[in-house]
Amino acid sequence: MRILLTASLWLCIACAHAADYSAAPSTSGKPAWAGVPDVRRAWQDWTLNCQGCHRPDGDGSPATAPKLAGEVAKFLWVPGGREYLGRVPGIASSPLSDEQLRQVVNWMLWRFDARDVPANFVPYTAREIGTLRVHPMRIGMSALRRKLLRTVRAAGAPAS
């Protein structure tokens, strides 16, 4: 019985989101899904490992996690932001392999904030993610986050 219930639950989750896992917001001509050879798998990994806190649409909630939708790629605008995204605890400490994780991170950028991905964005590789996650951020993370966001606001979008 429990197996049946679990199976139908997953089926419902799959149905509810099957339609939108591969729909990136407008990319303004940028190559959506660069660095995500398996979009469906990346979405599944997101569903199982990230969306519980960040919500399916990346909207987050004050109680659990910050909003990624329309925001997350802005970290790529400023020095240190790229590294920050590879070192936040939810990413660095996830049980996913380096290869799965780099696809989830690239997928997340396209899926939730394609508009803000810089035109010269080079997708994360498994090797880069593997190097960054060795040093998950702990102490001083909130201060660094605030500093990066201040710099983002001051810098504005890079010219493309």
The residue ranges that bind ligand HEC (CB under 6 A) are 49-50, 52-54, 64-66, 68, 72, 85, 88-91, 94, 104-105, 108, 145
Q: Which amino acid is at 27?
A: T
CA atoms within 13 A on the CB side of 56: 12
- Nearest approach in angstroms of CB 13 to ligand HEC is 16
**Using alpha carbons only, what angle is made at residue 91 by residues 56 and 143, rounded to the nearest 5 degrees?**
105
CA distance 133 to 94: 9
Q: Minimal CB distance to ligand HEC: which residue?
A: 90
| Beta carbon nearer to ligand HEC, 29 or 62 | 62
Ramachandran angles phi, psi of 61, nearest 5°: -165, 145
| Beta carbon nearer to ligand HEC, 27 or 51 | 51
Closest to 116 (Cα-Cα) out of 65, 154, 152, 80: 152
DSSP secondary structure code for residue 6 in this structure: H
CA distance 50 to 58: 9
| Beta carbon nearer to ligand HEC, 8 or 64 | 64
- Nearest approach in angstroms of CB 4 to ligand HEC is 27
- Nearest approach in angstroms of CB 1 to ligand HEC is 29
| Beta carbon nearer to ligand HEC, 91 or 117 | 91
- Nearest approach in angstroms of CB 147 to ligand HEC is 11
- Nearest approach in angstroms of CB 110 to ligand HEC is 12
| Beta carbon nearer to ligand HEC, 8 or 135 | 135
112, two tokens: 């939730």
